[in-house]
Chains A and B, each alone.
Chain A
């Protein structure tokens, strides 16, 4: 009896002690895999990204493995779903288990850099020479470069060649043409245009090329220029050229509508090529987003991921990690990734080679010099502005609030 009592007490004590130990164990593994912790040669590096879908997964695995091999380093790569990346990074930064090389979606870089979790790449002698200005801005925080982005993407206007030919409509290049083309292409169950005005950052992202090309600016959205851009969207929806449902559509939904022939034109990105190419009987073309009026420059936002070196507290590993980032973003890899993935290289001098190989990318590549970073102006404050923009867009489209009022309300509310 006594024995049993004692052992039970020991068990309880062990439990009480064990739980905190187990919890600490989750976060204690500071240096992670590899044995570079004690200043010796670095023989392995941990990499975190969100390319968990094929074919991107393989493309990046190949590039990263080749880079690792070249440096004699084993790569431990982890891919999480896109939506989980930031929460994974936050967990890892609080438990000090950040990977040696971290991929971030470019508009997130400044927020993470602000927290102090990233090392300036200048410390390792990396520069962003030859990159498009907007791309460098997005990867910089307070004047320091924190990431390098090999390829980028943006949005353009897709059109259904068959439907346009039937209606005798040419792909639009200006807002006026866009409105008349969309109206002419709207018949029965078919809408002229589809775009995403959803209440997430995706909706904001789709609105930006219209807002920026017209001279609008995110630091103050209550301006006539932005109101004009919003008026264009309101007109398209109110005239029936675009569905009311745009306020609920993500870009994937927009693409589905386009692929199903429910919309003759759509605003979308080139990552939709694989889906559209698999759609039987669909002939489509791509042009730049229409400009406010003929000859004006189209300023579009850019997407894509940037590669960073987190502060892991181990100088040797960080130096090795910086070399890996340099290798991933080398000219050859940039060209290869751009060609394989159908994306735009971030160095303008490489664009011609890539376009020669994948002509479909041209309307996107044309915009590269004028691509604008979402976080270039507001930095870590961008999420607030982005929220205000989609709030105003929804207010105008759904409630029928006048664009100027909707924008003013959203600007002051944020």
Chain B
């Protein structure tokens, strides 16, 4: 930062000052500045090309009637806020928004609680704990399309292993339609997403736990703080910065989940698992209404952005501390 400031001060310096360094290009300051710009250029170019352009294009698109026709004619008439009105006014929007909230909150809650419990559990050393901990990463390593195909199979109402197991229990004659009933489908999708998310939460939280000095627990135990009390008064306060990061990143990752839902239910049955991201995909790539798809995508970006800002602020506070 300081380098940039001095360099720009150099260029805007009065003519008198410039005469003292007559050969402009060769002066060390200018060269330093050029060097800085050269270092900045790749990153700036990358950001412009792969972030600013797509996002900008998406925003522009959401104000246009952008359909299959547009691709050939290049004509995309401006329609003002029509796309937003259509998307936000659709009866599906409220349901998709509610599903997105339930899906995100449910997933995060489950992932975090189970992830934290497992991380705390693995803080103790016991035989094979290292091996078990690496096995826990498995859900993270399996491709999502495979995950959803296998889970879809297991959750099948008639022949899935889960319902077969339930059927084998005595006194229970039920075959829950995990993916076929509106009341269970969202729950099933959330459960699968929790399973996928546990390794991420465990890994980060375990890392955070390792940072907490052992002496604190020793000192605490002298004062009688063990077990839950130790967790409540030592672990939790010291883990707080890591928790914020995990939660905020988790929310952003979960909001945009698309493949798992598409693989498990395709947003069905009867839109019971339709979220903003699946609905946006549906509009753009099944109905080819790219304008409306972009509008809904932007709504999703804004929601994610809110959490991204929370994350940045939390992060800055952590650094300041």
Contact = CB atoms under 8 A, between A and B. Distances in A.
B186 to A, nearest CB: 12
Contacts of A262: 158-159
Interface string B127-164: 00000000000000000000000001000111100000
A247 B269 contact: yes
B52 interface: no
A111 B288 contact: yes
B65 to A, nearest CB: 13
B6 interface: no
A398 B179 contact: no
B34 A5 contact: yes
A398 B73 CA distance: 41
A199 B156 contact: no
B315 interface: no
Contacts of A5: 25, 31, 34
A33 interface: no
A93 B182 CA distance: 41
Query: Which of B72, B73, B181, B182 has the most C-beta atoms of chain A within 10 angstroms of its own C-beta?
Result: B72
B34 A245 contact: no
Contact of A398 (B45, B67, B71, B272): B272
Contacts of B71: 90-91, 93-94, 115, 117
A245 B157 contact: yes
Contacts of A111: 68, 288
A391 B71 CA distance: 28
Given A243-B157, A244-B157, A399 B182 contact: yes
A8 B156 CA distance: 61
A231 interface: no
B288 A383 contact: yes
Interface string A359-370: 000000000000
A197 B150 CA distance: 21
A333 interface: no
Contact of A244 (B90, B152, B159, B177): B177
Contacts of B91: 413
Interface stretch (B190-198, B231-239, B260-268, B295-303): B260-268
Query: Which of B49, B67, B267, B269 has the most C-beta atoms of chain A within 10 angstroms of its own C-beta?
Result: B269
A413 B94 CA distance: 14
A112 interface: yes
A383 B181 CA distance: 26
Contacts of A200: 266, 286
B69 A114 contact: yes
Interface string B57-93: 0000000000111111110000000000000001110
Contacts of A12: 38, 41
B270 A117 contact: no
Counting from the closest, the 10 A-B pairs by CB-CB distance are A199-B268, A398-B270, A115-B69, A398-B269, A93-B72, A394-B270, A115-B72, A117-B72, A244-B180, A247-B269
13 contacts: A12-B41, A94-B71, A115-B68, A191-B158, A200-B266, A244-B157, A245-B157, A248-B269, A383-B286, A394-B268, A397-B270, A398-B181, A398-B269
